Structure 1
Amino acid sequence: MIVVKLCAAALAAISLTAGASAAGLPPVEAFALPAQMRYAALSPDGDHIAFVFQRENNDMIAVAPSRLEEGAQIRIRSVHPWETVSAISWSGERVIYQTRRPTPRSRDDTSTFYNRTFLYSAPVDLSASIPLNEDPGDRRRSWLPRPQLSGDITHLLPHDPQHILQALNWREWETRDLYRTNVETGELSMIMRGRTGTQGFLTDGNGAVVAMYGLERGRETGDPFFVVGDGANGWIDLSRFINAEYDFLPFGRHRDGRLYVGSNHDADTIGLFLFDPARGAFDELLFRHPEVDVGGLIYSAGGEAVVGAYYIADEPGFHYFDGAYAAARNDLQTRLDRTNVRFVSIAQEARLALVSAEGPSDPGGLYLYDTESGALTEVGRLRPWLDDIPMGGVFPVRFPARDGLELRGYVTLPHGRQPDTTTGRPIPFVILVHGGPAARDYARFDPWAQFLASRGYGVLQFNFRGSRGLGRALESAGDGEWGAGMQDDVDDAAQWLAANGYADPDRIAVMGASYGGYAALMAAGRDNGLYRAAISVNGVTDLVGMRQHSQRFFGLEQRFREQLEGVDLRAMSPVNAANNIRIPILVAHASYDSVVPYSQSETFRRRLGRQDEHSVFIELRGDSHAIDLAGNRHLLLATLEAFLAYHMPSAELAMAD
């Protein structure tokens, strides 16, 4: 087995030096670089755009005039080298940006990491920044500052630009309290004390508290709770509606006091309802898609009114209650000729909106839209270095699992190739399994899939049983099916690709990250001859170890227990099937992964031993579960290219060599 380790100093140069591409193929770094202008947000007056880009593995905050005229000055500020930006917004004339940093859980446990979140405020010129979530000084000190259970801002208080609301767990590790925060000084003032186990607060459009939610502590089951009220006039306990029979997802409050709730109590998919908390009853059904779940609400520019709901079918979809918003988006979709057009930021004090437009084969761009005149101006391309590289086509497919359950997926083919399986020549394929597993794939621009297509490989991404967002039946079909029915779906996908002329049956690989990495290694351990190679990125290998890991994190333990109830953890762990693996394996893992510990892949590597000299192990030094650093992404893709070229070469790679 080959083991690759890099020092931190080498990471900065990786994007320029590591893994040179095969001659005649697009450069690896073009697919490894993260998009520029990420998390873009318009200032309330519409004059500026704040966004993030990455330079030499370091995230940078930038503020530019919204109308980028020649000679316009762009302000830039670097964040801490070990922090990555996870959100940007505005409060009045100040930029609010959130970062996360992998941090050891304790002095005695430096192998277990969590993502500690930080919040900062800076003026428009980015001349200085101040922290907004430092210890307020109302607790006993310990060597390790407590992280937020979640780093989300509760409310930006647009009508009070000097303050925001955020929920922090400084008082108790497993309980968050609600603080009003002065964005100019960083001063914190607790305005509501959370009950034990509180994870967050729900507010209305003006920032008034509507509800409190979390997990009961001190009970074996860790049951979720949801109470409605303002703390002054008592609370209405609606916890009974959160159960295993159906989803109850509070999204916000209607102006008449009722709640917007996502629920599938009466159908397979989650619809959007108005719910009366006083009566404990579902009232009006506002919207339901027949095949997929509602994902949440769309708000007006100021955040006071609900103007629609969003969902994801084959691609993101939007259902508007407000005709003006619907007309504006339809106009933009026609003019930009893209399938995924959405408002990413709307100026509260100006008739300006920031619009993102992309497609499954289009890296996308940002546009400034004048909602009054209809003027549309391109601000910038998200990945301009890809604009001259032909992208692969993405095609929706459906196929049956062995028990008849319909599975939906998306095939990415090399540029110029059509899914004409009757006359086309089968090509090598990679089945790219999504993580979660309670997540889903849809038709979108995916740099990994497009990189593989640029190397002559077909890619299948599909929604196996246990995937979320496509109705309760598909998700519940995955209950207790880790390593069993969920794994059968992967095998069925491989057989369907071969039987229908897409894939060369002798050149199919399986790949995935997180749960997808688990599925790849489990597939490799099955003696069915379906796969030529397997690739795991930050993958789960030991379910017993993951159960122990989950017990260190409040909330994670409950999710782990729900997903794996009834599963034989030892029998369904890839680490215990390592001796059965007879195909080449590529394993990559981030050293600071807080979701799936690095030790998961390290233990698997030791168990696999040197029985296969063609297997490769990569340590992605200094990185997190999301693989944020461009240098590590480059290393991973360059190694993947060489690995696949050796074990199941495509025509493109063969010609390039």
Structure 2
Amino acid sequence: MIVVKLCAAALAAISLTAGASAAGLPPVEAFALPAQMRYAALSPDGDHIAFVFQRENNDMIAVAPSRLEEGAQIRIRSVHPWETVSAISWSGERVIYQTRRPTPRSRDDTSTFYNRTFLYSAPVDLSASIPLNEDPGDRRRSWLPRPQLSGDITHLLPHDPQHILQALNWREWETRDLYRTNVETGELSMIMRGRTGTQGFLTDGNGAVVAMYGLERGRETGDPFFVVGDGANGWIDLSRFINAEYDFLPFGRHRDGRLYVGSNHDADTIGLFLFDPARGAFDELLFRHPEVDVGGLIYSAGGEAVVGAYYIADEPGFHYFDGAYAAARNDLQTRLDRTNVRFVSIAQEARLALVSAEGPSDPGGLYLYDTESGALTEVGRLRPWLDDIPMGGVFPVRFPARDGLELRGYVTLPHGRQPDTTTGRPIPFVILVHGGPAARDYARFDPWAQFLASRGYGVLQFNFRGSRGLGRALESAGDGEWGAGMQDDVDDAAQWLAANGYADPDRIAVMGASYGGYAALMAAGRDNGLYQAAISVNGVTDLVGMRQHSQRFFGLEQRFREQLEGVDLRAMSPVNAANNIRIPILVAHASYDSVVPYSQSETFRRRLGRQDEHSVFIELRGDSHAIDLAGNRHLLLATLEAFLAYHMPSAELAMAD
């Protein structure tokens, strides 16, 4: 096995290698760089846009005039080198930004990380920032795992620009209390004490507390609880609905006191209901999509009223209760001609909206929309360096699993190639398995898929059993099926690609991150001749070790237990099937991964041993589960390109050599 231990600082050397092996192809770094205007948000007066970009692996906060004119000044502030920005918003005339930092769990356990979150406030000119969730207690306690839960904004209180609400777990690490925070001074005051195990608070559009939710303290059960009320007049316990066999997802409160709830108690997909907490009854179905679940609510510009609901079918969809909002979005959809058009941020005072528009083959851009005049102005492209590079086409597909269950997915083909399998020769394919596994794929711009398409590979991303968002039947079909039925679906996908003329059966690889990495390694261990290579990124390899890891983090243990109930953890762990693997393996893992510990891949590498000289292991040094650093993304894609070119070359890579 080849072991590569390179950090992001080695980018220059990697670039030389990639350029030499892929002459004439789009540069690797074009697909590795993160979007340049992430987390963009309009100021309440509409005069400024705050956003994030990355420079030399360091996240930067920027504030620019919303109407960018020649000579306009853009203010920039760097965040801590070990922190990455995870959210940006405004409170009055101040920028509020959240960061996360991989942090060792304790002085005695520096191999286990969690993401410690921080919240900061800065003026428009970014001249200085102040912390908003700094622990006022003994600094020695910062080594305790309590900060795992800290730093989330509960409500921005738009009618009180000096304050926000946030839930913090200073008193007990398993319990959050609700605080009002002064964004100009950082001063905090507790306004509601959380019940033991509280993870968060639900508020209405004005910031009034609607409910409290969390997990019971008992480590053996960890049952969720959900209580409705304001604390002053008692609480109504609705935990029996949270713990029911169906989904019960409280989204917000209606003006008459009833709750907006997502539920599938009466059908396969989650619909949006009005629910009466006093009677414990579903009153009215407001919207349901026949094939996919409702994802949440759409609020008015001021945040006080619910104007619709969103969902994701093959692409994001929006159902509006308000005709004016529906008309505005339909107008934008027509004018921008993109499949994914959404309001990112609205400045109610200025009647301006920041709009994002992208498509599966379009990296996307940001636009300023005047809600009164209808004027539309481009603010900037999200990945302008990709605009001159032809992108692959993305096409929806459906196919049956071996037991007849319908599976839905998306095929990305190299630019110019159509999904007409009756003409042309089959091409090499990569099955890209999503993480979660309680997540899903849909038709969106995916840099990994487009990178592979630019190298001549087809890509299949599909929703196997256990995926979430496409109805209860598909998700529940994955119960206890790690390494079994869920793995069969991956094999069935490979056979379907070959049988239908998409893929060359002698050139199919399987790849994934997190759970997807687990699926890739399990596929390799089956030794059924379907795959010629496997790639795992931050993948799970040892289910027993993951169970022990999950016990260290509040809430994670319960989710892990639910997903793996009935699974033989040892038999279904790739680390115990390493000796059965006969195909080349590429394993990459971030050294500061807080979700799947780096040791998972390190143990697998040792178990695989040196008998496999064609396999490669790379450490993504200093990075997290999300692989935030552009240098590490470049390292991963450059290594992937070289790995596939050697073991499963496409025509494009063969010509580049």
Q: What residue number does 2:428 align with? A: 428
- Matched residue of 2:59: which SS? strand
Q: Displacement, 1:6?
A: 2.1
**CA offsets 1:352-404 (integer angstroms, 9 cap, x no match):** 00000000000000000000000000000000000000000000000000000
- Matched residue of 2:416: which SS? coil
Q: In structure 2, do the counterparts of structure 1 residues 632 and 130 end up closer, same or farther at CA, with 3 Å as the change threshold?
A: same
Q: Displacement, 1:424?
A: 2.1
C-alpha distance in 1, partners of 2:159/2:201?
A: 19
How do 1:299-310 residues align onto structure 2 when only pairs under 5 Å count?
299-310=299-310
C-alpha distance in 2, partners of 1:104/1:140?
A: 14
1:19, 1:638 within 8 Å by CA — same for their partners in 2? no
- Matched residue of 1:165: which SS? strand
Q: Displacement, 1:236?
A: 0.2
2:421, 2:502 within 8 Å by CA — same for their partners in 1? yes
**CA offsets 1:583-642 (integer angstroms, 9 cap, x no match):** 000000000000000000000000000111000000000000000000000000000000
> Is residue 114 from structure 1 mapped to residue 114 from structure 2 by the alignment?
yes
Q: In structure 2, do the counterparts of structure 1 residues 476 and 620 end up closer, same or farther at CA, with 3 Å as the change threshold?
A: same
1:148, 1:168 within 8 Å by CA — same for their partners in 2? no
2:268, 2:473 within 8 Å by CA — same for their partners in 1? yes
Q: Displacement, 1:11?
A: 5.7
1:103, 1:113 within 8 Å by CA — same for their partners in 2? yes
C-alpha distance in 2, partners of 1:270/1:561?
A: 23
Q: Displacement, 1:650?
A: 0.3
Q: Displacement, 1:151?
A: 3.5
Q: In structure 2, do the counterparts of structure 1 residues 442 and 143 end up closer, same or farther at CA, with 3 Å as the change threshold?
A: closer
Q: Displacement, 1:245?
A: 1.1
C-alpha distance in 2, partners of 1:424/1:633?
A: 33
C-alpha distance in 2, partners of 1:145/1:428?
A: 46
2:465, 2:489 within 8 Å by CA — same for their partners in 1? yes
1:534, 1:585 within 8 Å by CA — same for their partners in 2? yes
**CA offsets 1:264-303 (integer angstroms, 9 cap, x no match):** 0000000000000000000010000000000000001111
Q: Displacement, 1:423?
A: 1.3
C-alpha distance in 2, partners of 1:273/1:88?
A: 30
C-alpha distance in 1, partners of 2:240/2:16?
A: 56
Q: In structure 2, do the counterparts of structure 1 residues 292 and 257 end up closer, same or farther at CA, with 3 Å as the change threshold?
A: same
- Matched residue of 1:109: which SS? coil
1:14, 1:635 within 8 Å by CA — same for their partners in 2? yes
Q: In structure 2, do the counterparts of structure 1 residues 150 and 359 end up closer, same or farther at CA, with 3 Å as the change threshold?
A: farther
Q: Displacement, 1:311?
A: 0.2
Q: Percent same amino acid among aligned pairs?
A: 100
1:20, 1:638 within 8 Å by CA — same for their partners in 2? no
- Matched residue of 2:491: which SS? helix
C-alpha distance in 2, partners of 1:24/1:420?
A: 27
Q: In structure 2, do the counterparts of structure 1 residues 285 and 68 end up closer, same or farther at CA, with 3 Å as the change threshold?
A: same
1:14, 1:631 within 8 Å by CA — same for their partners in 2? no
1:20, 1:27 within 8 Å by CA — same for their partners in 2? no
Q: In structure 2, do the counterparts of structure 1 residues 501 and 299 end up closer, same or farther at CA, with 3 Å as the change threshold?
A: same
C-alpha distance in 1, partners of 2:370/2:8?
A: 45
Q: In structure 2, do the counterparts of structure 1 residues 509 and 7 end up closer, same or farther at CA, with 3 Å as the change threshold?
A: closer
Q: Displacement, 1:152?
A: 2.4
Q: In structure 2, do the counterparts of structure 1 residues 378 and 17 end up closer, same or farther at CA, with 3 Å as the change threshold?
A: farther
Q: Displacement, 1:655?
A: 1.1
Q: What residue number does 1:332 align with? A: 332
C-alpha distance in 2, partners of 1:107/1:140?
A: 11
Q: In structure 2, do the counterparts of structure 1 residues 413 and 294 end up closer, same or farther at CA, with 3 Å as the change threshold?
A: same
C-alpha distance in 2, partners of 1:408/1:507?
A: 22
> How does the TM-score come out when normalised to structure 1?
0.98
Q: In structure 2, do the counterparts of structure 1 residues 18 and 418 end up closer, same or farther at CA, with 3 Å as the change threshold?
A: closer
**CA offsets 1:55-106 (integer angstroms, 9 cap, x no match):** 0000000000000011100000000000000000000000000000000000
**CA offsets 1:172-193 (integer angstroms, 9 cap, x no match):** 0110000000000001111100
Q: What residue number does 1:511 align with? A: 511
Q: Displacement, 1:150?
A: 5.5
Q: Which stretches of structure 1, 4 residues or more, deviate above 4 A after TM superposition?
A: 11-21, 138-145
2:8, 2:635 within 8 Å by CA — same for their partners in 1? no
**CA offsets 1:489-522 (integer angstroms, 9 cap, x no match):** 0000000000000000000000000000000000
1:11, 1:57 within 8 Å by CA — same for their partners in 2? no
1:136, 1:188 within 8 Å by CA — same for their partners in 2? no
Q: Displacement, 1:26?
A: 0.1
Q: Displacement, 1:7?
A: 4.6
Q: Displacement, 1:220?
A: 1.8
Q: Displacement, 1:350?
A: 1.2
**CA offsets 1:538-557 (integer angstroms, 9 cap, x no match):** 00000000000000001000
**CA offsets 1:3-42 (integer angstroms, 9 cap, x no match):** 1112564468866876655110000000000001100000
- Matched residue of 1:480: which SS? coil
Q: In structure 2, do the counterparts of structure 1 residues 214 and 95 end up closer, same or farther at CA, with 3 Å as the change threshold?
A: same
Give the gaps of 5 or more residues in structure 1: none
2:202, 2:252 within 8 Å by CA — same for their partners in 1? yes
Q: In structure 2, do the counterparts of structure 1 residues 8 and 449 end up closer, same or farther at CA, with 3 Å as the change threshold?
A: closer
Q: In structure 2, do the counterparts of structure 1 residues 54 and 132 end up closer, same or farther at CA, with 3 Å as the change threshold?
A: same
2:21, 2:642 within 8 Å by CA — same for their partners in 1? no
C-alpha distance in 1, partners of 2:254/2:284?
A: 12
Give the gaps of 5 or more residues in structure 2: none
C-alpha distance in 2, partners of 1:39/1:627?
A: 17
> Is residue 55 from structure 1 mapped to residue 49 from structure 2 by the alignment?
no
1:139, 1:170 within 8 Å by CA — same for their partners in 2? no
Q: Displacement, 1:143?
A: 4.5
Q: Displacement, 1:53?
A: 0.2
> Is residue 564 from structure 1 mapped to residue 540 from structure 2 by the alignment?
no
2:42, 2:49 within 8 Å by CA — same for their partners in 1? yes
2:368, 2:376 within 8 Å by CA — same for their partners in 1? yes
2:114, 2:148 within 8 Å by CA — same for their partners in 1? no
C-alpha distance in 2, partners of 1:490/1:218?
A: 37
Structure 1 window deviating more from structure 2 (128-137 vs 338-347): it is 128-137
1:438, 1:467 within 8 Å by CA — same for their partners in 2? yes
Q: Displacement, 1:141?
A: 4.2
- Matched residue of 1:440: which SS? coil
C-alpha distance in 1, partners of 2:59/2:474?
A: 38
Q: Displacement, 1:138?
A: 8.8
C-alpha distance in 2, partners of 1:500/1:121?
A: 55
C-alpha distance in 2, partners of 1:496/1:428?
A: 14
Q: What residue number does 1:70 align with? A: 70
Q: Displacement, 1:140?
A: 8.8
**CA offsets 1:469-505 (integer angstroms, 9 cap, x no match):** 0000000000000000000000000000000000000
C-alpha distance in 1, partners of 2:142/2:186?
A: 21
Q: Displacement, 1:136?
A: 3.2
- Matched residue of 2:141: which SS? coil
Q: In structure 2, do the counterparts of structure 1 residues 336 and 148 end up closer, same or farther at CA, with 3 Å as the change threshold?
A: same
2:44, 2:348 within 8 Å by CA — same for their partners in 1? yes
- Matched residue of 1:628: which SS? coil
Q: In structure 2, do the counterparts of structure 1 residues 16 and 177 end up closer, same or farther at CA, with 3 Å as the change threshold?
A: farther
2:150, 2:169 within 8 Å by CA — same for their partners in 1? no
